Amino acid sequence: MRKLLFVLFLFASLSAQAQDPIFSQFYAAPLQLNPAFAGSGHAPRLGAAYRNQWSGFNNAYRTYAAFYEQSIDRLNSGIGFNLEGDDAGDGILRTTRFSAVYAYRLNITGNLAVKIGVEAGLQQTALDWDRLVFPDQIDPLDGPVITTTEQRPDQLNNTVFDASSGLLLLSDRFWLGLGLKHLNTPRQGFLLVNDNLSGGLPLRYTLHGGTEIIVNRGNKVKPASFISPNFLLVSQGPYKQLNVGAYTALGPVFGGAWYRHTFRNADAAILMLGFRQDMFKIGLSYDITVSSLAARSGGTYELTFGLFFDKGRKRPADLNDCTGMFH
């Protein structure tokens, strides 16, 4: 039965490839949302994230990410590199993405700026065909047998070019952004089992924003304290999700709570807690599934890590001060 679930996960994954994985701690992997975030931090930063979705299904979906980004102040620019990996069906279907990111900042007034970001890279999809068990391989008495009538694809690895872009409006009071991923709708599939795959990976729209309520501005020794209400709206093909909640930082401790809805049903409540000290930052979150899958799927865990270089150097106050949740 466990092997039969692998093939069920495969076909679910092939359908789900119309939707990119989205981290619950989306603030910890900003380049995944919008390339315009490149260079938005006060210092160069390196980050990583790990997500184990639906832990009750034995590694059904695992997602990894790592990124580096920094600003180039003299050019009003930011650059970055983003690496993502997604394993579905206990690794039967693997997707890997690597991209380079560039963002340019245009100052409109002293309190308002627009950042324009572009992203280009490669995406590879790989299928471990030999680990699949199809329905015609299941004998009612003896269990799995060797032969199957399913035809093995000629190509089990597919690498495509992928391009994205984004806009980010920054002020000293709020931020509002729009990310457009897969502008060229690359065809990543090797099994054409639905129209989304045969037509290419659908364009993903990401609308996000928030504000920041300062409690204590902090100093070189003590981090700032603030509350940041924010939202995330993602639409890709027939899939949609809305995250609404707030992030808060009280000195070295930070946390947050969000509610996620898919427009078809309530999906999850997200709780997060973390700690930051000097140049290090670590966060742990747990998605409490509230949909009909709750009884069997288990929750979703995420672990994120950030390393901020030259964090002790205090830069002059600028519009980046309204995006403390990304620092």
Torsions phi, psi for 203 (to 5 deg): -65, 135
Residue 123 has pLDDT above 90, yes or no: yes
Residue 5 has pLDDT above 80, yes or no: no
CA distances from 319 to 98, 113, 206, 279, 325 (A): 29, 8, 22, 21, 13
Q: With contact defined as beta carbons under 8 Å apart, do 125 and 188 qualify?
A: yes
Residue 228 has pLDDT above 80, yes or no: yes
pTM of the model: 0.83
Q: Which two tokens stand for residue 7?
A: 């093939």
Q: Which two tokens stand for residue 32?
A: 């995944």
Which residues in 14-26 are b (16+ Cβ under 10 Å) and which e?
bbbbbbbbbbbbb
Query: Which amino acid, one-letter code, is at 73?
Result: D
Residue 12 has pLDDT above 60, yes or no: no
Q: What class has domain 2-326? A: mainly beta
Task: For residues 29-54, give the mean pLDDT.
Answer: 90
Q: Which two tokens stand for residue 175?
A: 């931020």
Coil, helix or strand for 176? strand
Sorting pLDDT into bands at 50, 70 and 90, what band is 207?
very high
Q: What is the pLDDT of residues 44-93, one digit of tens each?
A: 999 999 999 876 677 678 899 999 999 998 999 999 999 999 988 777 88
Q: Please give the biggest Cα pair distance in the chain.
A: 75
Cα–Cα distance measured from residue 256 to residue 300, given in angstroms and rounded to the nearest whole number? 16
Question: Between 137 and 2, whose confidence is greater?
Answer: 137
Of 244, 178, 241, give the one whose Cα is nearest residue 205.
Answer: 178
Q: What is the DSSP letter of 17?
A: T
Coil, helix or strand for 325? helix
Sorting pLDDT into bands at 50, 70 and 90, what band is 232?
very high
Q: What integer pLDDT is reported at residue 18 of this predicted model?
A: 54
Q: What integer pLDDT is reported at residue 324 of this predicted model?
A: 59
Task: For residues 210-214, give the mean pLDDT.
Answer: 90
Percent of the chain scored above 90 by pLDDT? Answer: 46
Q: Which two tokens stand for residue 250?
A: 């009280």
Q: What integer pLDDT is reported at residue 189 of this predicted model?
A: 65
H or E stretch at 297: helix 294-297
Per-domain boundaries in the chain: 2-326
Q: Which two tokens stand for residue 173?
A: 């009071």
Cα–Cα distance measured from residue 302 to residue 52, given in angstroms and rounded to the nearest whole number? 6
Question: Between 119 and 110, whose confidence is greater?
Answer: 119
Q: With contact defined as beta carbons under 8 Å apart, do 204 and 32 qualify?
A: no
Q: What integer pLDDT is reported at residue 200 of this predicted model?
A: 78
Q: What integer pLDDT is reported at residue 317 of this predicted model?
A: 43
